[in-house]
Amino acid sequence: MALSLCIRIGACLACLLLAVVPSRAEDGSSRQLFLKRFCVECHADGAQEGDFNIEPLFAQHDAVAGSKHLMLYERVFHQLSKGKMPPEKAEQPSAVERKRIVDGLGKVLSKHVDSAGSRDARPFRRRLNRYEYQNTLCDVLGLSREVFGFRPFYDTLPEDTATDGFDTVGDGLAVSELHLELFLRLAERHLNLAMDWGRPTRHWRWDYAEPGTETERALKSKQKSGDRLRSEGEEPSGIVFFDLHGGLDNGAFDQDFRAERMRPDRSLLNSKKRLGFPIFDDGVAVTFDEFQVGEFYVTQPGIYKYRIRCRAAVDEVGLENPVSMQVYVQADKNNGELARTVQLPSNQWKTHELTLFRELKEVRVGDNSSLNVRLRFHTEHRYRGPRPGQQKGEPPPDLPTLRDFYHHLVEIDYIEVEGPLPTVQEERLRISGILPLDQDELTVVRQVLTRFLPRAFRKEVADEKIEHYVERFQAERARKAPFGEALQATLMAALISPDFLFVDNSPAAARPGEILSPHALASRLSYFLWSSCPDEELLQLATSGDLNKPDELRRQVRRMIQDRKSRAFAENFASQWLHLREIDAMDPDPDLYKYDKRLEDAMRGETLTFFNEVLRNDFSILNFIDSDWSMLNERIADHYGIDDVRGEHFRRVKFEPEHHRGGVLGHASILKITSNSTRTSPVARGVFILENILGDPPLPPPDNAGELANKVPGLDEVTLRRQLEIHRDVASCARCHNKIDPIGFALEHYNAIGVWREHEADGLKKRRPSAKIDATATLPDGREINGPDELRLALMEQPDAFTNCFVEKLMVYALGRSLRFQDHAEIARLCEVLKENDYRMGLLIEELITSNAFRRY
Amino acid sequence: MHKPLSRRQMLTGGCAALSLPFLDAMLPRPVMASERATKPRMLFVYFATGVCNEQWYPQQTGKDFTFSPTLKALEPHRDDVTVLSGLRHEFDFNGHSAADTWLTADNPAGNNSISVDQLAVPHLGNDVRFPSLQLSVNSGTGKKRLTHTLSFNQKGTPIPAQSDPRNIFNRLFVAPDAKSLAEAERRLLSRKSILDDMRQQVSAIQRSLGDSDSKRLTEYLESIREVEQAITREEAWLRKPKPEADAAILESGGHRIATKYNLIQLALQSNSTRIISYLSSREITRAHGDSHHGGQPEKLARLAESDRQQVELFSTLLTKLKDTPDVDGNLLDNTMIVFGSGMNNGDGFKNGTGSHGVRKIPLIFAGGRNFGIKNGQHLMFPDDKTTFGQVFVTMLERAGLPDAKFKQYETGLSGLS
Residue A635 burial (10 A CB sphere; 0-12, 13-18, 19+) = buried
How do residues A465-487 score in pLDDT, each as one tens digit? Answer: 999 999 999 998 998 888 888 89
Q: What is the bridge-based pairing of β-strands A239-241 and A409-421? A: antiparallel
Q: What is the mean pLDDT of chain A?
A: 75
Between A851 and A207, name the one with better pLDDT.
Answer: A851
ipTM: 0.73
Chain A contact for B213 (CB, 8 A cutoff): yes
Quote the pLDDT of residue A174: 78
Quote the pLDDT of residue A585: 78
Quote the pLDDT of residue B114: 95
Average confidence (pLDDT) over A643-649: 83
A177 closest CB neighbour out of B166, B213, B226 = B226
Q: Which residues pair with A631 in a beta bridge?
A: A652
Q: Are A305 and A421 in contact (CB under 8 A)?
A: yes
Chain A contact for B216 (CB, 8 A cutoff): yes
A492 closest CB neighbour out of B144, B194, B205 = B194
Quote the pLDDT of residue A3: 39
> In whole angstroms, what is the distance from residue B18 CA to residue B3 CA?
19
3-state class of A652 per DSSP? strand
Q: Chain A partners of B136 at a C-beta cutoff of 8 Å? A: none
CB contact under 8 A, A766 and B213: no
How do residues B47-90 score in pLDDT, each as one tens digit? Answer: 988 899 999 999 999 999 999 999 999 999 999 999 999 999 88
CB contact under 8 A, A710 and B355: yes
3-state class of A570 per DSSP? helix
| Low-confidence spans in chain B with pLDDT less than 50 | 1-36
In B, residues 291-310, which contact A (CB 8 Å cutoff)? 292, 294, 296
B154 closest CB neighbour out of A176, A365, A677 = A176
What is the chain B residue with the closest CA to A367? B166
Q: Chain B partners of A180 at a C-beta cutoff of 8 Å? A: 220, 223-224, 226-227
The conformational region for residue A643 under phi > 0 = left, psi -120 to 50 = alpha, else beta, is beta
Check pLDDT > 70 for residue A146: no
Quote the pLDDT of residue A507: 46
Quote the pLDDT of residue A68: 66
Q: Chain B partners of A123 at a C-beta cutoff of 8 Å? A: 210, 213
> In whole angstroms, what is the distance from residue A580 CA to residue B143 CA?
13
Question: Distance from A472 to chain B by nearest Cα, in Å?
Answer: 8
Question: Distance from A752 to chain B by nearest Cα, in Å?
Answer: 14
How do residues A728-760 score in pLDDT, each as one tens digit? Answer: 777 667 777 878 888 889 999 999 999 998 887
A178 closest CB neighbour out of B157, B189, B191 = B157
Residue A9 burial (10 A CB sphere; 0-12, 13-18, 19+) = exposed
Res. A253 pLDDT band, cuts 50 70 90: very low
CB contact under 8 A, A707 and B186: no
Quote the pLDDT of residue A645: 87
Cis peptide before A86 (omega within 30 of 0): yes
Quote the pLDDT of residue A106: 79
- To probe the interface with A, which of B194, B207, B288 has the most A CB atoms within 10 Å? B194
**Percent of chain A clearing pLDDT 70 (strictly above):** 66
> pTM for the whole thing?
0.78
3-state class of A482 per DSSP? coil
Check pLDDT > 50 for residue A335: yes
Between A800 and A39, name the one with better pLDDT.
Answer: A800
Quote the pLDDT of residue B394: 96
Least confident among A74-83, A696-705, B225-234, B313-322: A696-705
Selection from B39, B77, B72 nearest residue B57 by Cα: B72
Q: How many CB atoms lie within 10 A of CB A334?
A: 6
> In whole angstroms, what is the distance from residue B364 CA to residue B373 CA?
13
Quote the pLDDT of residue B295: 79
Average confidence (pLDDT) over A704-717: 55
How do residues A389-427 score in pLDDT, each as one tens digit? Answer: 555 445 555 555 544 444 566 777 888 888 777 777 666
How would DSSP label each residue in A674-738? TB-SSSB-HHHHHHHHHHHTSS-PPPPPPTT---HHHHSTTGGGS-HHHHHHHHHTSHHHHHHHH
Q: Are B310 and B339 in contact (CB under 8 A)?
A: no
How many angstroms from the chain centroid is the CA of residue A163?
16
Average confidence (pLDDT) over A77-86: 76
Quote the pLDDT of residue A153: 57
- Report the residue count for chain A: 857
In B, residues 119-158, which contact A (CB 8 Å cutoff)? 140-146, 153-155, 157-158
Question: Distance from A457 to chain B by nearest Cα, in Å?
Answer: 14
Residue A480 burial (10 A CB sphere; 0-12, 13-18, 19+) = exposed
> In whole angstroms, what is the distance from residue B176 CA to residue B266 CA?
19
B212 closest CB neighbour out of A122, A180, A508 = A122
Between A672 and A85, name the one with better pLDDT.
Answer: A672
CB contact under 8 A, B166 and A479: no
The Cβ-side half-sphere exposure at A294, using a 13 Å CA radius, reads 18
Q: Pick the most confident of A326-335, A378-387, A689-698, A820-829.
A: A689-698
Q: DSSP class of residue A532?
A: S
CB contact under 8 A, B347 and A709: yes
Between A61 and A49, name the one with better pLDDT.
Answer: A49
Q: Are A719 and A760 in contact (CB under 8 A)?
A: yes
Q: Are B125 and B133 in contact (CB under 8 A)?
A: no
Least confident among A355-369, A562-576, A822-836, B363-377: A355-369
Q: Are A54 and A40 in contact (CB under 8 A)?
A: yes
Average confidence (pLDDT) over A292-302: 62
What is the chain A residue with the closest CA to B165? A364
The amino acid sitting at A408 is: H
Quote the pLDDT of residue A718: 67
Quote the pLDDT of residue A259: 46
CB contact under 8 A, B140 and A703: no
Question: Distance from A841 to chain B by nearest Cα, in Å?
Answer: 31
Residue A146 burial (10 A CB sphere; 0-12, 13-18, 19+) = exposed
Quote the pLDDT of residue A332: 54
How would DSSP label each residue in B214-257? HHHHHHHHHHHHHHHHHHHHHHHHHTSPPPP--TTHHHHTSSHH
Average confidence (pLDDT) over A767-793: 83
Selection from A730, A690, A685 nearest residue A707 by Cα: A730
The conformational region for residue A545 under phi > 0 = left, psi -120 to 50 = alpha, else beta, is left
How would DSSP label each residue in B135-204? EESS-B-EETTEES-S-B-TTSPBPPBB--HHHHHHHHHPPPPHHHHHHHHHHHHHHHHHHHHHHHHHHH
What is the chain A residue with the closest CA to B195? A493
How many angstroms from the chain centroid is the CA of residue A435?
41
What is the chain B residue with the closest CA to A121? B212
Radius of gyration of chain B (CA): 23
How would DSSP label each residue in A730-746? SHHHHHHHHHHHHHHGG
Cis peptide before A498 (omega within 30 of 0): no
Distances in Å between the Cα of B108 and the Cα atoms of A246, A396, A677, A797, B98 are 43, 47, 19, 38, 8
- To probe the interface with A, which of B171, B203, B208, B227 has the most A CB atoms within 10 Å? B227
Q: Chain A partners of B224 at a C-beta cutoff of 8 Å? A: 180
- Report the residue count for chain B: 417
